[in-house]
Copies of this chain bind each other. A is one copy, B any other.
Amino acid sequence: MNQLATDLVSLPHVLILGGGFGGLTVARRLAGANARVTLVDQHNHHLFQPLLYQVATASLAAPSIAAPLRHILRRQGNLTVLLETVTGLEPAARQVRCGSTTLDYDYLVIATGATHAYFGHDEWARFAPALKTLDDARLMRRRILLAFEQAEREPDPARRQAWLNFIVVGGGSTGVELAGTLIELARHTLAGEFRRCDPRQAVVRLVEAGPRLLASYDTSLSDKARRQLEQLGVEVHTGVAVSAIDADGVKLGERRLPARTVLWAAGVAASPVGRMLGLPLDRAGRVRVRDDLSVPGHAEVFVIGDLAHLDQPDGAPVPGVAPAAKQMGKHVGDVLRARLRGSGESPPFRYRDDGSLATIGRMAAVAQFGKLKLSGLPAWIAWLLVHIWFLIGFRNRLSVMLDWAWAYWTHQRQARIVGGTDAENHD
């Protein structure tokens, strides 16, 4: 081993689990710090999750919204990336287990995020795919595009319509964005390309158990979002929960809605890594952290992002959104730098709400920045700019801008390619 490597081995070791918004921010914040840093992720890439629904609806190719972690962090000589899946934590021994590999640490940052949840009905997962990883997005895209292919081959009109019926469960921003893009895919992108079925006959329903869509936004924006969706042709159902899902559709209360394609955007659960700590969790499985984001009893272990539960002074928990994860990552990065310098300070973390944006369709969106509320075209432009800005990597920004410009002008979507043979695609 060369001298550099030997020097590194004697430095404190910061181990970061998860290369999403939170983990990546901590990693970058430790550039040049007097420590050895290891970032562990089960995928080789950082994923820009806010745009995942665009891969799912064939508007963007997967590589446009992801970047290899190793490439993003290549300039940090004190940091390496390992492709591993965490299988156990031993906080007393300061060790993390990844299968047969054991990693020791001096400081641990757990940023493994959230995953899907089906409200205790895991059997629904087969019929209603959710959206958290690139593989999820590709599977969802395949199901959506193949539904139209099945409709084209189906001679019976009732069965054909069932293939053209889509149901999106969950009225948060993911569900709203999926529904809006789906209806546009059917009514514009695919219209005219089929001969036996008519994609414009597609019915897209968005169902939300709560009283309104986009519950975290102001009521007036929830209403605007609903109206914009209905204008596009989406049927919105609020105030009624899904009671069953199977291969033929969903049951909404007592009513049956036939649909061969159901997309799940309704429930989130914390990453299973949270449980491995053996500490108190909230109802969603998130780890209750102290206000400096460390965990009770282990000042050297931090939890950030969607896996962390922290109540702010006003009583509201820090939301599970990308900006919060980034702010927490910055906070922990700074705390670690202070510790490495010998300082014991642990300032409390304060979440700053910089605003929220959700897009509904072509030139339609809602945005809320504190008291400033936007909808329609200004919100849509803000949405575009913010998402382009925060994408990692100039090359990805260029690629996404090109895809969006093209789609805007032509209604075409550039990522409609479905892998797998016909045999695999006929369920």
User: Which A residues are within 8 Å of any B CB, using their own CB?
Assistant: 42-45, 61-64, 66-68, 70-71, 74, 77, 79-85, 99, 101, 133-135, 138, 145-146, 149, 152-153, 190, 192-196, 395, 398-399, 402, 406, 412, 414-423, 425-426
Contact = CB atoms under 8 A, between A and B. Distances in A.
A198 to B, nearest CB: 11
Given A63-B61, A419-B135, A421-B43, A195 B83 contact: no
A394 to B, nearest CB: 9
Given A44-B416, A63-B416, A82-B153, 6 more contacts: A43-B419, A71-B412, A74-B193, A83-B149, A83-B152, A135-B419
Contacts of A99: 426
Given A61-B61, A63-B61, A70-B193, A395 B412 contact: yes
A402 B412 contact: no
Given A71-B193, A193-B70, A418 B63 contact: no
Nearest to A148: B70
A149 B395 contact: no
A425 B83 contact: yes
A85 B422 contact: yes
A127 to B, nearest CB: 21
A204 B18 CA distance: 32
A310 B71 CA distance: 50
Question: Which 9 pairs between the two chains have the least Cβ-Cβ distance?
Answer: A80-B195, A42-B422, A61-B61, A85-B422, A83-B149, A74-B193, A70-B193, A63-B415, A61-B63
A48 to B, nearest CB: 11
Given A398-B402, A416-B68, A422 B192 contact: no
Contacts of A414: 63, 395, 399
Contacts of A415: 63
27 contacts: A42-B421, A44-B417, A45-B416, A45-B417, A45-B418, A61-B62, A62-B417, A62-B419, A63-B416, A66-B417, A67-B417, A68-B417, A71-B416, A74-B193, A79-B195, A80-B152, A80-B194, A80-B196, A81-B152, A84-B153, A85-B421, A85-B423, A101-B153, A135-B420, A395-B406, A399-B399, A399-B414
B82 A152 contact: yes
Nearest to A101: B153
A417 to B, nearest CB: 5
A397 to B, nearest CB: 12
A71 B418 CA distance: 13
Nearest to A58: B63
Nearest to A406: B395
Nearest to A8: B195
A44 B149 contact: yes
A421 to B, nearest CB: 5
A156 to B, nearest CB: 14
A147 to B, nearest CB: 11
Contacts of A149: 44, 83
A417 B63 contact: yes
B84 A422 contact: yes
A49 B83 CA distance: 31
